Amino acid sequence: VSCCTPMNCSITELLAGAEPQTMRVYLRVRPFSKEELSDGEDQGCVVIENNQTVTLKAPKGSATMKSSEKGIGMSLHKFSFSQIFGQEMTQSELFEDTVKSQMSDFLDGKNALIFSYGVTNAGKTYTIQGTPKEPGILPRVLDATFHYVGGHLYDGMDRKPYLRNDAQYLDLDQVKQERIAKAAIFASVKDVRVKSLANLKSLSSPSTRFSSSPLSYAQTVFASDPTEAGSSQFALWVAFFEIYNECVYDLLQPPLCSKSKRRAALRVCDDGAGNAYVKDLRWINIQTLGEASKLLQFGNRNRSAAATKMNQSSSRSHSIFTMKLLKIDGSRVERISEFSLCDLAGSERCNKTKTFGERLREAGNINTSLLILGKCITALRNNQTDRMKSSYIPFRESKLTKLFQAVFCGKGRASMIVNINQCASTYDETLHVMKFSAVAKQVMQVIPDKPLESLVPCLVGHDGKPLSNGVIDSQPLESYLSEEELLDEEDEANMSLLPQNEFVNMIESLRTKLLAERRRNLVQEMEIRKEMGDAMLQQLMESEELRIRQIEEQKESYQEKLENTFEMYKDAIKEHAYQCAMNNLEDDYVPLEEFIAVQEKVEVCHLISCLKEKYWTGIVCRSNTGPVGNTCHSAHFLPTAEDRCKLLYKEKCAIEKMCEDKQQLILSLEKRLMELSETLQKVGDGFLEKSADVEVLQRKGDDQTKSMDDILQQNVEKDQEITSLKAELATLSQKSPVKPKFKRGLLANIKEAVTSPRKGTPGRPLRKMSKTLRMKGS
């Protein structure tokens, strides 16, 4: 197989004498379903002119029609394909017209790739895998391969594909492990009813072999007969994996015991020659068509699928089924050919499929990988049309394009089957798919005229070491690059077709250059590491100084906040003390009148006590006075009885007057209290009246709100009724074969559409009335 530099896939760099041809792009139109017909999706959007030309007409309401009405784009688009298959095309006819040539290349030692492309719910999985009653391309390719091989199958499992284009020799223990893994898969499929197995076996009968007999099938499809190979035998190995959220998962791995465990993602690596492969991918050797059917069903059971608004079982990943056919002559593997069938996930718009959450992330990854695929094909076309300006081809931006990079660059024949539906709701997405396929059809592929028998695949041992004539090579093991070294190599190899001795010399020189380059890279890496270390140390010091300044600033800010908080607490304590003092003052408060009365009472009591004391003092003095009368100092200091009576009378009058004043004060306070009670009663009555008025107003407001809601509900119902009437009017106007000669008013049309279904009478009176009204208006 020829090899090219992946970053410069131009025609001039491919092999001389090869036959350039454009990529074959086929179109398959899916028929309408009953639900789509009932929803009015059939609006004549897709018109097949002939077996190679199709025309797309933009329906009303689509973004393309709106743009054309604004003068930006066109409403009609015409596309050409290698061949167009209408909705009446069967699966067998599709296989005969699309896969025949690539199937012949695969059996003749060349690589082939077929991938289905289109929007979601367009029939891609049906085209690739089909149904139990109508098998698709994949089951038919397997059946054709087994029919070609016939009795030349290699029974042993000691020759297995290795890396991308090499083979590996397995020892007895490894063969035993392969058989155990294969038996485990088949044991898990025993519980599943394999419905398609009988249909796949029925393909081998002469009456159902793609509308041709076995003899004619072998003559028309296969370029060579395996019986001419002499003692050569064939071993068929298959792998089935998917690319989900830009991660590669093996579909032939047994399911995990616990749902909480996540599947192991596989790596996409390089083999050192610019060929990408999936590391640790499980390859299964199959001997019969039944084993192939079981593997296919086992892989489909593990495939990621979910329900969306547009498809109940939408594929959320790109599934790739790869077959490798090893031609074995004794202990030598003469050649390896590869056939990959890729079922791409459908591109979709999230607003139409109503995806969210995990489905939204899946749709984003699907659209991203398909966008990168379109970029790669566009860059290939641009590099081939304008050789002076070689643009970068982003193969390595997606795992899907990285895996098929070699095929797009001439190491095999690629073809695309575009699947579309005719629904008007997905017209814009379908137009985008058609534009992409138009670009892909212009890509030139340069394929060698015949397989290159001089390039024999490298055969390695069970430990990965190269074998020479079935034994380990005597060269030192250090001279071979390990697999990890191959994985780390980023530079792509550019090999030419040379004799074997020159090829070995070139490998040795390249190995010497590789070692020198590694030494240079090691020195450069040490210098870079030192520079990076110094820069990192400087950056750490600067960041440390910045952090110290930030800490000081934070300390100052925290100190200021603490002082403010302290002042705030002081103010709060003062306010609390003041409030407590005011509360205590209110509790101990005594009215002024009561205080004056108590004070006067205390003064009167004190005066009475003084008078009593003087009275009793005078009595004692008189009793102690002798006959001479010289006990007291003077007689006029002792009050007489008349003086005491007068004094007591005065005191009595003062006390009575004080009591009268107190009684008048009490009467005035009682009068004032009664006035306050009457005022409070009036205020309470007014408050009750106002409360009653407020309740009445609130009830009136509630009634008005309820009536307003009823009016709004009636308006909504009327709007819905008007919308339905407009839709019915539009339907009637579209279905009417004859257009009216005059333009009637919108009011007359609405009246006719409303009154005719209710009364069950034709709309002639209304039309006459509308005509009369129009004549009066004119």
Domain ranges (residues) in the chain: 11-471, 498-537, 639-679, 744-778
**Backbone φ, ψ for residue 214 (5° rounding):** -60, -40
pLDDT of residue 477: 35
Q: What is the pLDDT of residues 258-279, one digit of tens each?
A: 555 677 889 888 887 778 889 8
**Backbone φ, ψ for residue 28 (5° rounding):** -125, 125
Q: What is the pLDDT of residues 550-599, one digit of tens each?
A: 999 989 989 898 888 888 888 888 888 888 887 777 776 667 777 788 88
Determine how many CB atoms are found less than 10 A away from the CB of residue 188.
Answer: 14
Residue pair 185/254 in contact (Cβ under 8 Å)? The answer is yes
Q: Which residue has the higher pLDDT, 576 or 492?
A: 576
637 DSSP 8-state letter: G
Calculate the alpha carbon distances from 379 to 9, 266, 384, 402 in Å: 10, 28, 9, 14
Cα of 715 vs its chain's centroid, Å: 40
- Rounded distance, CA 164 to CA 61, Å? 49
Residue 584 annotated as binding site: no
Q: Across the strands, what pairs with 166?
A: 162
Note if the pTM is more than 0.95: no
Residue 183 annotated as binding site: no
Q: What is the pLDDT of residues 413-448, one digit of tens each?
A: 889 999 998 888 888 888 888 888 888 888 777 665
Query: Is residue 339 over pLDDT 90?
Result: yes
Average pLDDT of the chain is 75
What number does CATH give the domain 11-471? 3.40.850.10
Residue 199 annotated as binding site: no
Task: Taking residues 349-354, report their average pLDDT.
Answer: 51
Q: What is the pLDDT of residues 692-750, one digit of tens each?
A: 888 888 888 888 888 898 899 888 989 888 988 988 888 888 876 554 444 455 555 55
Residue 125 annotated as binding site: yes
Residue 533 annotated as binding site: no
pLDDT of residue 19: 59
| DSSP-derived 3-state class of residue 372 | helix
**Backbone φ, ψ for residue 639 (5° rounding):** -70, 150
- Rounded distance, CA 346 to CA 393, Å? 23
Q: What is the pLDDT of residues 245-259, one digit of tens each?
A: 888 999 888 776 655
pLDDT of residue 428: 87
Helix 427-440 / helix 358-385 crossing angle, nearest 10 deg: 30
Residue 375 annotated as binding site: no
Query: Is residue 395 over pLDDT 90?
Result: no
pLDDT of residue 426: 86
Banded model confidence at residue 141, pLDDT cuts 50, 70, 90: very high
